[in-house]
Amino acid sequence: MSKPLHERIRFDCEARILAGDLAPGDRLPTERELMREYGCSRMTVSKALSALAAAGLVVRRKRAGTLVARPRMHSMVLDVPDLAAQVRERGQDYRFRLLSRQVRPAREDRPEEALLAGNGAVVAIDGLHLADGAPLALEHRLVNAAAVPGIAGADFDADPPGTWLLRHVPWTEAETRISAAGARGDEATLLAAEPGAPLLCIERWTWRGAERITYVRQIFPADAYDMVARFGPTAAAR
Amino acid sequence: MSKPLHERIRFDCEARILAGDLAPGDRLPTERELMREYGCSRMTVSKALSALAAAGLVVRRKRAGTLVARPRMHSMVLDVPDLAAQVRERGQDYRFRLLSRQVRPAREDRPEEALLAGNGAVVAIDGLHLADGAPLALEHRLVNAAAVPGIAGADFDADPPGTWLLRHVPWTEAETRISAAGARGDEATLLAAEPGAPLLCIERWTWRGAERITYVRQIFPADAYDMVARFGPTAAAR
DNA sequence: CAGTGGTCTAGACCACTGA
DNA sequence: CAGTGGTCTAGACCACTGA
């Protein structure tokens, strides 16, 4: 029914900041002042202001008080594409066409394979993401065979390799690189594009602790895909 | 010296989850069990577990307890480029060359200008980001003249327009679109590239409340720039 | 319906730091 | 050195929900 008191206090303070009523550097009421204003205990006020601090809207300093933070926008939240879900959301038919899957020793002359598996084996997977039968993205993936035993025999009809991995390998870290590139001849053929045509290129390394799990490179024809990132003072920390 | 107790409890639980000691869906000890284990009050335990929930590592449900969350990686943190800072960090000389600045009525036949300013005036700024004198990115920016009065006469020698705006317009929301495109003839000339050459294209809309402040489109030659985004179970919520 | 987390109180002692 | 936030206690009542 009614929101908890600490959420109401947080909301009220947030509203004053976002409306510009309080400018960056201005002081909010102290905890003791807010206790009186809302007729509540200090823990309740503290919870509200700590949440604002965690969200980056205020900075709290002893003696100085709680100050409206200077806005930053150094980072935004990037949606990681689940291609299958996105295609289906548009009412199209999603399919993953497996082009090849090999289990073989990592090639020393390929930096990604050496980084991934050292002297061990890699599972190399190439495939095409299709929307209503038309090529959406070409995917080249390498998986550390020792780290993910099940991958060699996994069935990618239901889930493409990325989704399969997300389900079977928990708690990873990842780094994504987004760039543009021109289509090579073989890539152009598979994507039904012209050689040299502009592509959006997404490369991602995924770790579990210190161990590299997988490397993937997905390329999209320029008109087939955009990535979207968002920033908001409220949503930034979520 | 010593970390607060609630941080220690949080750290201990986090370590057990990240080590795989507790799998997704497993139950953590209840608050009352942790109270006994650490010999502390329930508020202290609650603070630790709430922080883990806010970070997305656990899900808390009444009666069911605190469960290790299923990993998601639906989103990553994207660094927003401060081109001037990045260029200087590489030891190169950064400059912004202003190509043109106009204050004029928004053109109705251009969707961005109509969205931005309606029937009002826009400030249209075109410029080139240079690293050691070589073109790094071509920028086309539109600013809502009514919303940002100072921009018409601002000096962009010290700060490029994006940096200037960040300093003068607080608390905005933003949406960034990243795509690939081929260079048009005029763009290619300014960027010292071939027509049709692949470009990384970054478009960003910035709002203050319901009001649109600025639209910017930056294009980078494919080999000049990559964007990087990161995901980590601990750092995700920061 | 018993056990869980959610919220809240009314205190306390303390570390820090800027007026 | 006085005022601020940081932490913590030992309770309480409650809403929710799954064993």
As a whole number of Å, the CA-based R_g of chain A is 25
Q: Looking at chain B, which runs of residues are DSSP E strands?
A: 58-61, 65-68, 75-79, 94-105, 121-131, 134-144, 173-182, 198-208, 211-221, 227-231
- Does the pLDDT of residue B235 top 70, yes or no? no
Neighbouring C-beta atoms of residue A72, cutoff 10 Å: 12
Q: Which of A79, A178, A231 sits opposite B173 (nearest CB)?
A: A231
* Per-residue buried b or exposed e for A33-50, using 16+ beta carbons within 10 Å of the residue's own CB: ebbeebebeeebbbbbbb
User: Could you tell me the CATH superfamily of domain A77-229?
Assistant: Chorismate lyase-like (3.40.1410.10)
Q: Pick the range with the lowest mean pLDDT from A208-217, B10-19, B69-78.
A: B69-78
**A193: its two tokens:** 């594009």
Q: In three state form, how does the secondary structure of B203-226 look?
A: EEEEEECCEEEEEEEEEEECCCCC
- Does the pLDDT of residue B112 top 80, yes or no? yes
Intra-chain end-to-end CA distance of chain A, in Å:
24
Percent of chain B whose predicted confidence (pLDDT) is above 90:
77
Report the CATH number of the A5-68 domain: 1.10.10.10
Nucleotide of closest approach to A38 (CA, C1'): C8
Contact A91, A50 (CB under 8 A): no
A64 touches strand C (CB under 7 A): yes
- The span from the CA of B54 to the CA of B75, in Å, is 15
- The span from the CA of B175 to the CA of B167, in Å, is 18
Torsion on CA atoms B77, B83, B87, B93, rounded to nearest 10: -170
Task: Enumerate the nucleotides of strand C whose atoms come under 7 Å of any protein CB.
Answer: 2-12, 15-19
Q: Which residue has the tokens 């909301």?
A: A11
Residue B237 gets which letter from DSSP? G
- Residue–nucleotide distance: B147 CA to D2 C1' (Å): 44
Q: Within chain B, which residue ranges are assigned CATH 1.10.10.10? A: 5-68
B62 lies within 8 A of chain A by CB: no
Percent of chain B whose predicted confidence (pLDDT) is above 70:
97
B115 lies within 8 A of chain A by CB: no
CA distance, residue B233 to nearest chain A CA (Å): 7
What is the Cα A32 distance to its own chain's centre? Answer: 40
Q: What is the pLDDT, as a whole number, of residue A235?
A: 52
Residue A110 gets which letter from DSSP? S
Question: Which chain A residues in 115-174 sit with Cβ < 7 A of strand C?
Answer: none
A2 touches strand C (CB under 7 A): no
Percent of chain A whose predicted confidence (pLDDT) is above 90:
77
Q: What is the pLDDT of residues B180-222, one digit of tens each?
A: 999 999 999 999 999 999 999 999 999 988 899 999 999 999 9
Q: Cβ contact (<8 Å) for A222 and B182?
A: yes
- The span from the CA of A229 to the CA of A100, in Å, is 32
Give how far Cα A157 sits from Cα of A144, B173, B215, Å.
21, 40, 42
Q: What is the pLDDT, as a whole number, of residue B1?
A: 55
Q: What is the pLDDT, as a whole number, of residue A234?
A: 63
Q: What is the pLDDT, as a whole number, of residue A236?
A: 45
Neighbouring C-beta atoms of residue B236, cutoff 10 Å: 20
B158 lies within 8 A of chain A by CB: no
Q: Which of B18, B175, B198 sits opposite A228 (nearest CB)?
A: B175
- The span from the CA of B61 to the CA of B41, in Å, is 20
A15 lies within 8 A of chain B by CB: no
Q: Within chain B, which residue ranges are assigned CATH 3.40.1410.10? A: 77-229
Q: What is the pLDDT, as a whole number, of residue A72?
A: 78
A3 lies within 8 A of chain B by CB: no
Round the average pLDDT of chain B to a whole number and report it: 92
Neighbouring C-beta atoms of residue A77, cutoff 10 Å: 21
| Confidence class for position B52, pLDDT limits 50, 70, 90 | very high
Q: List chain A residues with CB under 8 Å of B222.
A: 179-182, 198
3-state SS class at A198: strand
CA distance, residue B22 to nearest chain A CA (Å): 11
Q: Cβ contact (<8 Å) for B77 and A75?
A: yes
- Sequence-distant (6+) residues with CB within 8 A of B175 are A228, A229, A230, A231, B204, B205
- Residue–nucleotide distance: A12 CA to D12 C1' (Å): 27
Q: What is the pLDDT of residues A78-119, one digit of tens each?
A: 988 889 999 999 999 999 999 999 999 999 999 999 999 988
Neighbouring C-beta atoms of residue A146, cutoff 10 Å: 12
A40 touches strand C (CB under 7 A): yes
CA atoms within 13 A on the CB side of A20: 7
Choice between B172 and B207, residue whose per-residue pLDDT is larger: B207
* Per-residue buried b or exposed e for B90-114, using 16+ beta carbons within 10 Å of the residue's own CB: eeeebbbeeeebeeeebeeeeebbe
Q: What is the pLDDT, as a whole number, of residue B157?
A: 82
pTM of the model: 0.88
- Does the pLDDT of residue B170 top 80, yes or no? no
A46 touches strand D (CB under 7 A): yes
Q: Which of A18, A21, A73, A206 to mutate to test the interface with B (most CBs of B within 10 A)?
A: A73
* Residue ranges, chain A, pLDDT below 50: 236-238
- Does the pLDDT of residue B238 top 80, yes or no? no
* H/E segment holding residue A35: helix A31-38
Q: What is the pLDDT, as a whole number, of residue B236?
A: 45
B60 touches strand C (CB under 7 A): yes
- Sequence-distant (6+) residues with CB within 8 A of A102 are A123, A124
- Sequence-distant (6+) residues with CB within 8 A of B12 are none
Choice between B5 and A81, residue whose per-residue pLDDT is larger: B5
Contact B31, B49 (CB under 8 A): yes
Question: Which chain A residues in 140-159 sit with Cβ < 7 A of strand D?
Answer: none
Nucleotide of closest approach to A61 (CA, C1'): D5
Q: What is the pLDDT, as a whole number, of residue B234?
A: 62
Question: Using alpha carbons only, what angle is made at residue B178 by residues B212 and B182, rounded to the nearest 5 degrees?
Answer: 115
